[in-house]
Chains A and B, each alone.
Chain A
Amino acid sequence: MPTTHRKAAAIGLTALLLAGTAIPAGAETLRWARAGDALTLDPHAQNENPTVTLSHQIMEPLVIRDQNAEIVPALATEWAVSDDDPNVWIFKLREGVKFHDGADFTASDAKFSLDRARGPNSNFKELLASIKEVRAPDDLTLEIETDGPNPIMPANLTNLFMMDQQWAEANNATEVQDYAAGEDTFAAKNANGTGPYKLVSREPDVRTVLEVNEDYWGKDEYPLEVTRIEYTPIQNAATRVAALLSGEVDFIQDVPVQDLGRVGQTAGLEVRSRPQNRSIFFGLQSGAEDIASDNIDGRNPLASKEVRQAMNLAINRDAIRQVVMRDQSVPSGVIAPPLVNGWTEELDKLPEGTIEDARALMEQAGYGDGFSIRLDCPNDRYVNDEAICQAVVGMMAQIGIDVNLDAKPKAQYFPLITSGNGETDFYMVGWGVPTFDSEYIFNFLVHSRDGDYGSWNATGFSDPELDAKIESLASNTDIEARDAAIREIWDRVQDEVLYLPLHNQVLNWGLKDSVVAEVDPEDAPKFKTFRLN
Chain B
Amino acid sequence: MIAYIVRRLLQSLLVLMVVGLVAFAMFRFVGDPVESMLGQERTATDVERLREALGLDRSFAVQYWRFLQNAVQGDFGISYRQGRPVAEILLERAPATLELAAVSGALAIGFGILLGILTAIRRDGWGASLVMAASLIGVSLPTFLIGILLIYLFSVELGWLPSFGRGDTVRLGFWTTGFLTESGLKALILPAITLGLYQMTLIMRLVRSEMMEVLRQDYIRFARARGLPERTINFRHALKNTLVPVITVTGLQLGAIIAFAIITETVFQWPGVGLLFINAVQFVDIPVMGAYLMLVAVMFVAINLAVDLLYVAIDPRLRTK
Interface residues of A (CB under 8 A from B): 14, 17-18, 20-21, 33, 39-40, 42, 45-48, 120, 123-124, 126-127, 177-180, 182-185, 188-189, 203-207, 232-236, 238-240, 242-243, 245-248, 380, 409-415, 418, 420, 432, 444, 451-452, 455-456
Contacts and interface: CB of A to CB of B under 8 A. Distances in A.
A248 B155 contact: yes
Interface stretch (B18-26, B45-53, B208-216, B217-225): B45-53
Contacts of B40: 47, 432, 444, 456
Given A239-B163, A242-B156, A409 B168 contact: no
Given A205-B271, A411-B284, A412-B31, A47 B165 contact: no
Contact of A177 (B83, B89, B156): B83
Contact of A180 (B42, B43, B53, B268): B53
Minimum-distance CB pairs A-B, first 6:
A411-B31, A180-B53, A47-B39, A126-B41, A412-B31, A206-B271
Nearest to B53: A180
A233 B269 contact: yes
A206 B282 contact: no
Interface stretch (B73-81, B113-121, B296-304): B73-81
Contacts of A17: 170, 180-181
B37 interface: yes
Given A39-B82, A246-B155, A418-B47, A206 B283 contact: no
Contact of B165 (A45, A206, A245, A451): A206
Contacts of B156: 242, 245-246
B159 A40 contact: no
A182 B77 contact: yes
Contacts of B168: 18, 21
B33, B43, B268 interface centre (most CB from chain A within 10 Å): B43
Interface in B169-221: 170-171, 180-181
A444 B275 CA distance: 34
B58 to A, nearest CB: 13
B308 interface: no
Nearest to A440: B41
12 contacts: A40-B82, A46-B39, A182-B77, A188-B82, A205-B271, A235-B278, A246-B156, A410-B31, A411-B32, A418-B42, A444-B41, A452-B44
B112 interface: no
Q: Please report whether the interface of chain A is mostly helix, strand, loop or mixed according to DSSP.
A: loop
A204 B288 CA distance: 14
A133 B279 CA distance: 39
Given A205-B276, A236-B269, A452-B44, A48 B39 contact: yes
B122 interface: no
Given A14-B180, A39-B81, A444-B41, 5 more contacts: A123-B39, A184-B85, A206-B271, A411-B35, A444-B40
Interface in B127-172: 148, 151-152, 155-156, 159, 162-166, 168, 170-171
B78 A183 contact: yes
Contacts of A245: 156
Contacts of A414: 32, 35
B94 to A, nearest CB: 13
A242 B181 contact: no
B80 A179 contact: yes
Contacts of A123: 38-39
B84 interface: yes
Contacts of A18: 168, 181
Contacts of B29: 412
A255 to B, nearest CB: 15
Interface residues of B, number: 60
Nearest to B31: A411
B88 to A, nearest CB: 8
B144 to A, nearest CB: 8
Nearest to B77: A182
A259 to B, nearest CB: 12
A236 B278 CA distance: 11
A452 B45 contact: yes
Given A246-B159, A380-B282, A236 B266 contact: yes
Contact of A239 (B31, B268, B271, B284): B268
Residue from B39, B75, B275 having most chain A Cβ neighbours under 10 A: B39
B267 interface: yes
A451 B44 CA distance: 7
Nearest to B171: A20
B243 to A, nearest CB: 38
Contacts of B165: 206-207, 232
B31 A47 contact: no
A39 B84 CA distance: 10
A180 B268 CA distance: 33
A523 to B, nearest CB: 15
B30 interface: yes
Nearest to A121: B50
A239 B265 CA distance: 11
B284 A179 contact: no
A120 to B, nearest CB: 8
Contact of B164 (A39, A120, A189, A243): A243
Contact of A235 (B32, B89, B148, B266): B266
Nearest to B271: A206
Contacts of B61: none
Nearest to A45: B83
A322 B180 CA distance: 50
Interface in B254-294: 266-269, 271, 275-276, 278-279, 282-284
Contact of B41 (A127, A239, A415): A127
Contacts of A413: 31
